[in-house]
Every structure is written in structure tokens, then in C-alpha cells.
Amino acid sequence: DADVTQTPRNRITKTGKRIMLECSQTKGHDRMYWYRQDPGLGLRLIYYSFDVKDINKGEISDGYSVSRQAQAKFSLSLESAIPNQTALYFCATSVGASGGLGDTQYFGPGTRLTVL
Amino acid sequence: RKEVEQDPGPFNVPEGATVAFNCTYSNSASQSFFWYRQDCRKEPKLLMSVYSSGNEDGRFTAQLNRASQYISLLIRDSKLSDSATYLCVVQRLTGGGNKLTFGTGTQLKVEL
């Protein structure tokens, strides 16, 4: 079974609709992240959470909100979807940097969202 | 200027060839460096970290040049299965914690 799962895997919706993307992990990691990936722009951080009570904005948080329901669950909401939010969304987890080893990201399989 | 820049490619190489990718970063405070691999329509996965002294993992060699602020990835004896997009990732410490910046990726196509 995958360590990081995302639902749904694909979603087509209309402008103005509220959408929730869900992420669950069995890795036991405290840190969770939401990214979006667009052609030519790479992965960009939307929100991140270092534990259940900690939520932080990333570089492109406008138009999005998140909820960390438990250590293992981190959901991303688009309150009123717009076409330029069409993208591939990834959830990721990490254990946190230690000893200069870096903060390796473990990604879920992604959610392909299309906003018409 | 982007914080992390990569040649998007594609690099089309025959099986067995040696291919090298470079990545430049703009922030001299960057501390840690990585290469991730992303297959088409799949999630990125860590390929290897990049250490100051350079490091090797089988057919893959990563180098870091802090003075010139670039990272390289060398793949020897390319296999068809190496076809993927390779993402350069740079990490630095900010007031909000560690910040990872992903490059847009270099696409590699290994052909028969």
C-alpha cells in the first residue's frame, strides 16, 4: 500500500465550485505539504504544516485553505475554483531536517484538477 | 531571475550514452541540494542528495560547485528506464524554517 495517498486522483469541476482534495499518510511524519505543478513553473508550495497545530502559508496560498485534521491527514480546499487553478496537485510528507541531511519530501501520486 | 534554473531539454540520447545535466541556483545561502526524478504523470521521488565532495550512486554521480553555484548530475551507461524528468532541488534556512525550491526539470529521453 502507498505510504502517501491522495483523493480524488482526477477531478473536473466548474468555476465557482468548492473543491476539497484530501491527503493521508501512514509514514508517521509530522510534516505535510501541498504543492501544485504547472508546466514550465515547476512545483510551488501552497501550504505546509509541521504538526497538527501548525499551519503555514507557502508562496502561492491565495485562493486556497487547508485543514490538518490529524497527524496523518491534511486536506486542501479551493473555496471558489477558478480556471487558473487547473494544475497537478501533490501532497508530500517529510520527517524534518536533521544533521544537515535535508528534508526529503515523500510525495503522493497527485491529483489532476481541471477547472472549466 | 529564478532561484533555481535548469535547461528544460529534452535531452535525447542513445542507450549506453553518458549524459550530464546542470542546475544553477541564485541564493548563496542555500545549504542542501538534491536531485529528484519524476516519471511522466507520476510523483517526484528523491534520486540522490548532493554533497560538497561529490557523490556517486551506481551509474549516477552528483557534483556541487558552491563557488559557481551550480549542481550537476551525470548519468553513465544510460538505460531506457532512465527516461524521466530530473528536478534540481535547493534547500535553505529561512525565518519560517527550511525552504525547498524546485527547478522546472530537465527531460531525458533514452532511445534504442
**pLDDT of the residue at B96:** 66
Contact at 8 Å (CB) between A46 and A38? no
Predicted pLDDT of residue A102 = 57
- Interfacial A residues in 27-56 facing B (CB < 8 Å): 40-45, 50, 56
How does pLDDT run across B92-103, given as a tens digit for each residue? 877 767 788 999
Select the residue from A25, A105, A113 to test the B interface by mutation, using most B Cβ atoms within 10 A. Answer: A105
What are the tens digits of pLDDT across the range B34-81? 999 999 989 999 999 998 888 999 999 999 999 999 999 999 999 999
Q: What's the grid cell of residue B108?
A: 531525458
| Cross-chain residue pair A104–B46, CB shorter than 8 Å | yes
Q: CA-to-CA distance for A22 and A31, rounded, in angstroms?
A: 15
Q: Does the pLDDT value for residue B25 go beyond 60?
A: yes
Residue B105 is given by DSSP the state -
Q: Is the pLDDT of residue A33 over 50?
A: yes
Split at pLDDT 50, 70, 90, the class of A63 is: very high
